[in-house]
């Protein structure tokens, strides 16, 4: 996944996401300090002096400045003087101001981003044992006071006054005729839309960093898992992070000897993590054997007493909620993080996203694909078959053979980094262009599951942090690394090749996930392994809809958990645990029970994103839909040229970006149509 750099100060988050309200705006609330008479007087005087051409912009800018102007910023006269002195009507001078602001924000955001990433090196990268001071620096946000400083020196007010904010609805309508520069001006207006105190920013950063560390260190020693007879199923030394490592290990055992038994054991581990009955002593600890089915812990063949993990998983989630909830008062028009996550970050309202998901998970194609999976497996579906992996091209290949190849190619991160230009050439980039892109990406060994993190200024590098054992990169790790590489390529193209820094990036993280998926599905091509299966495209369509089916349910659970949190803000970790498990079963029973033939399964609650990446999960299924549409559009075209074209569109609104990229809005229809065709062929 793309790492959400949520430990950075809020201005950085707002830069990527702080503008996208579908209705209403914090800027439209009645000013708390500047009175209406002053507001009306300033607007009239500026209109008289600046001319009718500036009327709309200055009116909007003055109101937005007034909405965040506080007593310490000056009295009514100071506000009036500020607006008169700082509003720029002349278009040439306005462009000069824009260019100077844009350059300065790149310097600030770029260097703060680099500092934050470098401070997290001991936390994010494998190496020496972590110490408390490492975790403290990892949680520290160098830019937490930036918003306060920008309002204190009035740079924030100058920006707001001259480059006002537009709602999502306004961007959607007005953006149809905007030039690239007008889009960049609008994105400049997105930077300062709230005034969250630095202390609250730091509290959010602290909570997110602690939950991220908790997940990064949550490993299961697979070689220590035993059944009732004491039999082990996994190799000694295998260490898997939850949930990614457990999930990928489960997926790898379709069609293998003892595969079903291994999968059931992994699922038992997952359920123990979800309900927190997992013995605390077996987490990231290889001293004990553990039977996850009976939940017995052994040492030297003898059962020992064990204490379950004390609901710490849910304590992490609750702490994130409380820290974020404390900032809600500073977003009066969107007073919940759920609203902001979708209307600010994703720029698609939550109800629209949920409606899209429900349409797919209740489509008749889902039951047809499930029946096909059952036939291919020769058994009734198990709950963990939401991760059925048999439609992928690599499913017919021996993963051990693939691992031998990837370990030989990539014994360490540097080997992967050196091979990136070659991989890009295989995807269609010229040698010169491939070297250019790869030179701006740095590969490091990850302590956790790995992630991609982009640079925020030209001259800095994107980071690909991947997990590699001392034996080299296994195939699962390689597959994930190729996914992260896709993120890094996007992060490089839309930073270094974009026309305006204010347009750098993508509309939301679903769009970077889309390119990561496009890379990931080509991982075998990059290894020089060609799939000659004539049904390859049909299988890919089936795999795509099944992947969406899985992650859309998880995403809807995530949404509902946050709704519950807002309804129960004083909940304890134990109460939250009970609620998550109950809601996971309700979502399962509503959208999965009839398909799988089993009720009350909690499996959807295993995702680690719920714990350390608040409301991120919906980006994956939306990313799958975007990926599917892009992949269909570029079929028969040069992959590299199309990626360069599409990802230099920059940070438009999602639907404007999609129209520019493939000529249509985000939709499930292309996927369903393709699946219908696939079901006619794959019997």
pLDDT digits (tens, 9 = 90+) for 458-468: 999 999 999 88
The whole model's pTM is what? 0.84
Q: Distance between CA atoms of 207 and 215, rounded to whole angstroms?
A: 13
pLDDT, tens digit (0-9, with 9 covering 90-100), for 324-345? 999 999 887 788 999 999 988 8
Are the CB atoms for 86 and 162 separated by under 8 Å? yes
Which pair of tokens denotes residue 55?
């009327």
Residue 10 pLDDT more than 60?
A: no
- pLDDT (0 to 100) of residue 552: 98
Residue 25 pLDDT more than 80?
A: no
Strands (E), 136-235: 219-221
- pLDDT (0 to 100) of residue 396: 64
Are the CB atoms for 79 and 69 separated by under 8 Å? yes
- pLDDT (0 to 100) of residue 394: 62
Which range scores top for mean pLDDT: 105-114, 201-210, 469-478?
Answer: 105-114
User: What is the chain's alpha carbon radius of gyration, rounded to the nearest angstrom?
Assistant: 26
Residue 161 pLDDT more than 60?
A: yes
Q: How confident is the model at residue 21 (pLDDT cuts 50, 70, 90)?
A: very low
- Share in percent of the chain as helix, strand, coil (round to 5): 65, 5, 30
> How buried is residue 68: exposed, middle or buried, by Cβ count under 10 Å (0-12/13-18/19+)?
buried
Q: Distance between CA atoms of 109 and 124, rounded to whole angstroms?
A: 20
> What 3-state DSSP class applies to 345?
helix
Dihedral of the CA atoms 243, 244, 250, 251 (nearest 10)? 140
Residue 431 has a CB neighbour count (10 Å cut-off) of 11
Dihedral of the CA atoms 125, 308, 609, 394 (nearest 10)? 80
Residue 20 pLDDT more than 50?
A: no
**145, 240, 127: which is closest to 202 by C-alpha?**
145
Are the CB atoms for 529 and 406 separated by under 8 Å? no
DSSP state, residue 606: G
> What 3-state DSSP class applies to 539?
helix
- pLDDT (0 to 100) of residue 592: 98
Q: Distance between CA atoms of 520 and 634, rounded to whole angstroms?
A: 16
> How buried is residue 94: exposed, middle or buried, by Cβ count under 10 Å (0-12/13-18/19+)?
middle
Are the CB atoms for 208 and 320 separated by under 8 Å? yes
345 contact partners, CB below 8 Å, separation of at least 6: 16, 17, 20, 508, 509, 615
Residue 100 has a CB neighbour count (10 Å cut-off) of 10
- pLDDT (0 to 100) of residue 377: 96
pLDDT, tens digit (0-9, with 9 covering 90-100), for 632-645? 999 999 999 999 99
Domain map (residue ranges) of the chain: 10-214, 218-274+277-310, 315-320+337-392+533-681, 398-526
């Amino acid at each position: 996944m793309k790492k959400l750099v949520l430990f950075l100060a809020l201005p950085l988050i707002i830069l990527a996401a702080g503008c996208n309200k579908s209705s209403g705006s914090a800027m439209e609330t009645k000013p708390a300090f500047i009175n209406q008479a002053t507001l009306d007087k300033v607007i009239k005087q500026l209109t008289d002096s600046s001319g009718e051409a500036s009327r709309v912009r200055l009116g909007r800018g003055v109101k937005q400045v007034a909405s965040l102007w506080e007593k310490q910023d000056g009295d009514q006269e100071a506000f009036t003087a500020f607006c008169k002195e700082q509003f720029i009507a002349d278009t040439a001078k306005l462009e000069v101001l824009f260019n100077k602001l844009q350059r300065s924000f790149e310097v600030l955001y770029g260097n703060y981003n680099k500092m934050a990433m470098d401070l997290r090196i001991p936390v994010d990268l494998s190496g020496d044992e972590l110490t408390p001071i490492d975790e403290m620096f990892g949680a520290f946000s160098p830019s937490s006071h930036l918003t306060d400083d920008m309002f204190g020196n009035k740079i924030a007010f100058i920006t707001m006054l001259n480059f006002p904010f537009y709602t999502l609805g306004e961007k959607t309508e007005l953006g149809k005729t905007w030039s690239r520069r007008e889009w960049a001006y609008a994105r400049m207006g997105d930077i300062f839309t709230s005034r969250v105190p630095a202390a609250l920013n730091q509290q959010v950063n602290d909570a997110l960093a602690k939950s991220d560390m908790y997940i990064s260190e949550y490993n299961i020693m697979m070689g220590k898992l035993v059944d009732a007879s004491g039999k082990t199923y996994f190799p000694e030394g295998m260490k898997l992070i939850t949930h990614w490592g457990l999930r990928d290990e489960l997926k790898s055992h379709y069609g293998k000897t003892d595969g079903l038994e291994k999968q059931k054991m992994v699922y038992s581990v997952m359920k123990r993590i979800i309900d927190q009955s997992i013995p605390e002593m077996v987490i990231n600890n290889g001293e004990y054997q553990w039977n996850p089915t009976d939940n017995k812990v052994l040492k030297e063949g003898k059962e020992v007493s064990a204490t379950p993990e004390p609901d710490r998983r849910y304590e992490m989630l609750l702490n994130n909620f409380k820290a974020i909830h404390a900032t809600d008062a500073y977003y009066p028009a969107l007073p919940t993080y759920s609203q902001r996550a979708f209307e600010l970050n994703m720029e698609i309202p939550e109800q629209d996203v949920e409606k899209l998901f429900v349409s797919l998970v209740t489509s008749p194609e889902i039951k047809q694909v499930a029946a096909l999976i059952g036939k291919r497996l020769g058994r009734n579906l198990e709950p963990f078959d939401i991760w059925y992996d048999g439609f992928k091209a690599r499913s017919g290949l021996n993963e051990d053979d693939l691992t031998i190849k990837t370990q030989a190619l990539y014994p360490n991160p540097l080997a992967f980094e050196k091979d990136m230009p070659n991989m890009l050439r295989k995807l269609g980039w010229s040698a010169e262009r491939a070297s250019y892109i790869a030179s701006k990406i740095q590969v490091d060994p990850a302590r956790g599951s790995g992630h991609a993190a982009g640079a925020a200024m030209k001259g800095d590098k994107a980071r690909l942090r991947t997990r590699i054992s001392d034996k080299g990169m296994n195939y699962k790790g390689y597959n994930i690394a190729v996914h992260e590489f896709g993120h890094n390529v996007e992060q490089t193209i839309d930073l270094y090749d974009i026309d305006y820094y204010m347009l750098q990036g993508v509309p939301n993280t679903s769009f970077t996930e889309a390119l990561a998926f496009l890379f990931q599905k080509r991982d075998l091509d990059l290894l020089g392994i060609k799939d000659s299966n004539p049904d390859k495209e049909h299988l890919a369509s089936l795999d795509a809809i099944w992947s969406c089916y899985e992650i859309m349910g998880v995403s809807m659970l995530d949404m509902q958990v946050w709704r519950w949190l807002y309804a129960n803000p004083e909940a304890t970790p134990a109460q939250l645990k009970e609620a998550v498990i109950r809601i996971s079963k309700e979502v399962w029973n509503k959208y999965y029970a009839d398909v799988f033939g089993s009720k009350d399964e909690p499996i959807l609650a295993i995702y680690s994103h719920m714990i350390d990446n608040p409301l991120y999960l919906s980006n994956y299924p939306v990313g799958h839909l975007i990926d599917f549409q892009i992949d269909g559009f570029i079929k028969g075209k040069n992959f590299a040229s199309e990626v360069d074209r599409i990802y230099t569109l920059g940070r438009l609104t999602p639907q404007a970006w999609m129209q520019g990229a493939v000529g249509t809005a985000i939709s499930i229809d292309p996927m369903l149509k393709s699946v219908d065709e696939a079901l006619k062929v794959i019997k």
